[in-house]
């Protein structure tokens, strides 16, 4: 334990089930579903995030002298870099060419889920900066004990990112595409803010889906049945097979999620024609945000992916007064549909200075390029000037 923190104790868990859900969620809060105990537990119970898949839980808990849980962090010992969306493959290859062992490493993240949000979780009313420092230094201590090459905190809040930088961690800047609700009264109100060309493009795409005979519905919570998950997971698996070749999330995960306290946070946009399922977009509802997670589709229908994943998400957000929609990783095509680039963050501690120093130089260059790209895309966005 760091000097000055003798009154605190740090525990390392081998499963999220080893801590009470209420105590963990008191630190995590209720706004972001992905850091809730139920979501992480569903990942682990389903076998999606497990030692077998290369995600070995090593969650951190910080307690006071009375045993109260004051802070926590979702942490995993990794034997690979799959399912993270902040890519460090080149670092691993360079280190291994030089004779080093990049794996295992420690990853503070939500498995297979590139959504932004807190990672260093602190009980409300406690000394946040102090406890986040304790969590960060405890990760480093654990990495040294385990012989891990590095620690990576991915998609944290901006404040956590800045705090890690002040503690000497390497800082990496990335970007995603998010939609912001500027008080729109309806989808047409949103369209009216776009340039004429973009407005016509979106109307053309939505009208094409409407004419195709596809019927779309938005299923929330208990509306989503086992039969929907059966079809969705088969579609998801098919998309993975075509594009990436490795499905991260098991069918059992969705069953666990539906049986958990987060069941009402599930939002599934369902598409079918003449009783034939064609595709679905899986979303999760947070306090003021709809998080787009995964698309699964069968027979191709022009523009159906855009309608199910992007436009129906905006319809839902406007109807429910949500502040934003996070549409997931990558995809510059989202800009023309109203999703603008925003900065995302990660913090990295690397044990070997022989690797840390060139990575630090690379990240400084990369941050400048990413910031410039975000500014240029935002300036060229789809909205009417002035």
> Nearest 10 degrees: CA dihedral of 249, 253, 255, 256?
-170
Tokens at 217, concatenated: 């519905």
Positions of the chain with pLDDT under 70:
1-6, 241-246, 386
Predicted local distance difference test score (pLDDT) of residue 312: 97
Predicted local distance difference test score (pLDDT) of residue 242: 66
Cα→Cα distances 327→20, 107, 116, 169, 339, Å: 31, 23, 11, 28, 8
**Is 182-322 a domain of CATH 3.40.630.30?**
yes
CATH homologous superfamily for the domain 9-175+343-379: Gcn5-related N-acetyltransferase (GNAT) (3.40.630.30)
Predicted local distance difference test score (pLDDT) of residue 2: 47
pTM over 0.75: yes
> How many CA atoms lie less than 13 Å away from 221 in the CB half-sphere?
7
Predicted local distance difference test score (pLDDT) of residue 4: 47
State the Cα angle at 316 between 311 and 322, rounded to 5°. Answer: 115
Predicted local distance difference test score (pLDDT) of residue 331: 76
**CATH 3.40.630.30 residue ranges for the chain:** 9-175+343-379, 182-322
Category of 131 on φ-ψ map: left (φ > 0), alpha (ψ -120 to 50) or beta: alpha
Predicted local distance difference test score (pLDDT) of residue 245: 58
In this predicted model, what pLDDT tens digit does every residue of 161-172 receive, in sequence order?
999 999 999 999
């Amino acid at each position: 334990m760091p000097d000055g923190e003798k009154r605190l104790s740090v525990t390392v868990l081998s499963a999220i089930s080893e801590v009470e859900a209420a105590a963990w969620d008191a630190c995590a809060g209720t706004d972001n579903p992905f850091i809730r105990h139920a979501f992480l537990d569903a990942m682990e119970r389903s076998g999606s995030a497990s030692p077998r898949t290369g995600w070995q839980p090593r969650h951190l808990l910080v307690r006071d002298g009375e045993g109260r849980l004051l802070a926590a962090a979702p942490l995993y010992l990794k034997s690979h870099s799959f399912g993270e969306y902040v890519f460090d493959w080149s670092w691993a290859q360079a280190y291994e060419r030089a004779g080093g062992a990049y794996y295992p490493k420690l990853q503070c993240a939500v498995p297979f889920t590139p959504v932004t949000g807190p990672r260093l979780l602190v009980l409300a009313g406690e000394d946040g900066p102090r406890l986040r420092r304790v969590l960060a230094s405890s990760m480093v201590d654990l990495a040294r004990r385990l012989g891990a090459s590095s620690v990576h905190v991915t998609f944290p809040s901006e404040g956590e990112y800045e705090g890690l930088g002040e503690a000497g961690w390497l800082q990496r800047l990335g970007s995603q595409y998010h939609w912001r609700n500027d008080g729109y009264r309806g989808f047409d109100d949103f369209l009216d803010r776009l340039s004429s060309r973009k407005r016509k493009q979106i109307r053309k795409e939505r009208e094409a889906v409407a004419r195709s005979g596809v019927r779309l519905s938005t299923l929330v919570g208990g509306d989503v049945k086992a039969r929907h998950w059966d079809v969705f997971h088969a579609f998801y698996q098919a998309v993975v097979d075509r594009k990436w070749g490795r499905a991260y999330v098991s069918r059992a995960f969705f069953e666990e999620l539906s049986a958990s306290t987060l069941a009402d946070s599930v939002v599934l946009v369902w598409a079918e024609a003449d009783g034939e399922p064609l595709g679905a977009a899986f979303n999760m509802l947070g306090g003021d945000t709809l998080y787009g997670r995964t698309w699964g589709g069968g027979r191709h229908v022009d523009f159906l992916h855009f309608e199910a994943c992007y436009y129906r998400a905006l319809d839902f957000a406007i109807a429910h007064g949500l502040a934003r929609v996070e549409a997931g990783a990558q995809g510059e095509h989202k800009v023309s549909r109203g999703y603008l680039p925003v900065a995302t963050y990660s913090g990295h501690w690397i044990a070997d200075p022989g690797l840390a120093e060139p990575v630090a130089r690379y990240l400084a260059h990369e941050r400048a390029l990413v910031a410039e790209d975000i500014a240029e895309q935002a300036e060229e966005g789809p909205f009417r000037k002035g």
